[in-house]
Chain A
Amino acid sequence: MKRFSALVEVMLRPGIADPQGTTIERALPALGFETISGVRAGKSFRFEVEATDEEAARREVDELCRRFLTNPVIENSNVTLEPVP
C-alpha cells in the first residue's frame, strides 16, 4: 500500500450565490485592493489516504466528496493528491 496526502477544496458551484465571497469582495476597495474581483469563498480539507495506487486513492476520495464532504446540490470539489515519501 502507498500513502497519499490529499487536499480537497470545496467551492459553491458556479451560479450558486456566495454571500460570503460577495461580502469579502465588497470590503476590498476600502482596503486599497482595486484590482481584485470574482471572489468566491470555500473550504478545504487535508488528510492522508492509503491505497494501492493513485487511481485507487482518487476513487476513494472522490466517493468521500460525493457522499460527505460536499453537498452536490450546491458544491463542487477539487482533489489534489501527492505521494507521501
Chain B
Amino acid sequence: MTVRVGVVMFPGSNCEHDVAEAVESLGGEASIVWHGDRSVGPIDAIVLPGGFAHGDYLRPGAIARFSPIMQAVEAFAANGGPVVGICNGFQILTEAHLLPGALQKNRGLTFLCETVEIEVVTDRSVLTSGVTPGTKLRIPINHFEGNYTCDEATLARLREEDRIVFRYVANPNGSVGDIAGICNAAGNVVGMMPHPERASDELLGSSDGRVLLRSLLASAGATAQTAGAAR
C-alpha cells in the first residue's frame, strides 16, 4: 500500500514542498493540508514542516498552535498516528504541548544555517524505527530558535523514558543535553530541529535524511495496517 503523508502548510511555512518531494521520492504519497482546515483527511502520517508559521510573531509556534488544523493533529496523535515536526514544526509541537520543553534563541544569538552531524539515540520513535542507535547522520539545520530547553525533571524523564531521539555531535546552539530531537512517551510524535528533507538526495550534499523519512513511511504503513485490521 502507498503511505499517505499530509504536510501542513501554515501561512509562512516554507519547507512543505521539500518535504512532499522527499516523501514522494521514497514512494510515499504526499498532500499539502491547509492550516485553516479542520480535518487532516485520509492520511497515515502528518508532518509539520519548517518555516515561519504566522511570521513567528509573539514566539515561534505560539499562534500556529491555535490554527484550526491543530485540533485534528492533536486527535490524530492521540490515536497513535505518526506526527513529525521539523524545525518550526518542532516549535509548534512544543507550544501545542504535544512535546515538552521549549525552543529558545540560539546561544550566541546567531541564525544557524549549516550541515551538522547528529547521532540517533533511540530507535523507539516513528522517525528512527529503522535506524540503529549510534548511527551518525549529516543533516542541515536552519534556525534562530533551536536551543532546546526544559526543566531538570523533564530532562530526567526524557532520559529515563528513552525519549531523546537525536543528539548533536558538536552542539551548535546551546541545547540542553545536546538535544536535537525528542519524542513523546509513545514514540509517535517526534520533533527535531534538523531538516531531513534537505538531506534527501546526494545532489543536496547529503542523503542521510532518507533513512528517517523511510522509517516514517514504514511506521505509518504499519500503524495504518493495524488500524485497518482492527476495523
Contacts and interface: CB of A to CB of B under 8 A. Distances in A.
> Chain B binding site: helix, strand, loop or mixed by DSSP?
loop
Nearest to B107: A19
Interface residues of A, number: 11
Given A16-B149, A17-B174, A71 B102 contact: yes
Contacts of B102: 71, 73-74
B107 A17 contact: yes
Contact of B59 (A16, A17, A71): A71
Contacts of B62: 68, 71
Given A16-B149, A17-B174, A71-B62, A23 B109 contact: yes
B58 A74 contact: no
A71 B61 CA distance: 10
B104 interface: yes
Interface residues of B, number: 20
Contacts, number: 35
Contacts of A23: 109
Contacts of A19: 105-109, 174
A69 interface: yes
A72 B109 CA distance: 21
A20 interface: yes
Nearest to A74: B102
Contacts of A73: 94, 100-102, 149-151
Contacts of A68: 58, 62, 66
A69 B106 contact: no
Nearest to B151: A73
Interface string B135-177: 0000000000001011100000000000000000000001000
Contacts of B100: 73
Interface of A: 12, 16-17, 19-20, 23, 68-69, 71, 73-74
Pick the 5 closest A-B CB pairs, nearest first: A73-B102, A19-B109, A74-B102, A71-B102, A19-B105
